[in-house]
Amino acid sequence: MAKKSLKATKPTFTMSCKDIGSEDCGFSVTTHSADEVKKAIFAHAKYAHPEKLAGMSEAEKQGMMKKMDEMLISKK
Ligand SMILES: [Zn+2]
């Protein structure tokens, strides 16, 4: 994987909708905080995939959060 060195001292976090299971969705987001990435993905899922969120229990959402945390940590 190519690693670009950015001027910004803050790390960037990137996540795509594909990472959380939407194979046919091209949405992705990059921010400087892991929390912002998760918020943005959830906000996106809310309007783009409402049926996906509606079908998830609280426990499943928590599980997805955890999965995202792990992905964000491993990508650092
Ligand atoms: Zn999506």
pLDDT in tens, 63-76: 988 999 998 887 55
Q: Which residues pair with 33 in a beta bridge?
A: none
Closest CA to 12 of 27, 36, 30: 30
Q: For residue 29, is it within any domain?
A: yes
How many angstroms does the Cα of residue 64 sit away from the middle of ligand 1?
14
How many angstroms does the Cα of residue 42 sit away from the middle of ligand 1?
9
Which tens digits make up the pLDDT trace of 40-62? 999 999 999 999 889 999 999 99
Q: For the chain, what is the domain count?
A: 1
How many angstroms does the Cα of residue 9 sit away from the middle of ligand 1?
29
| Percent of the chain at pLDDT exceeding 90 | 54
Q: For residue 65, is it within any domain?
A: yes
Q: For residue 2, is it within any domain?
A: no
pTM for the complete prediction? 0.75
Q: For residue 5, is it within any domain?
A: no
Q: For residue 46, is it within any domain?
A: yes
Task: Note the pLDDT of residue 48.
Answer: 95
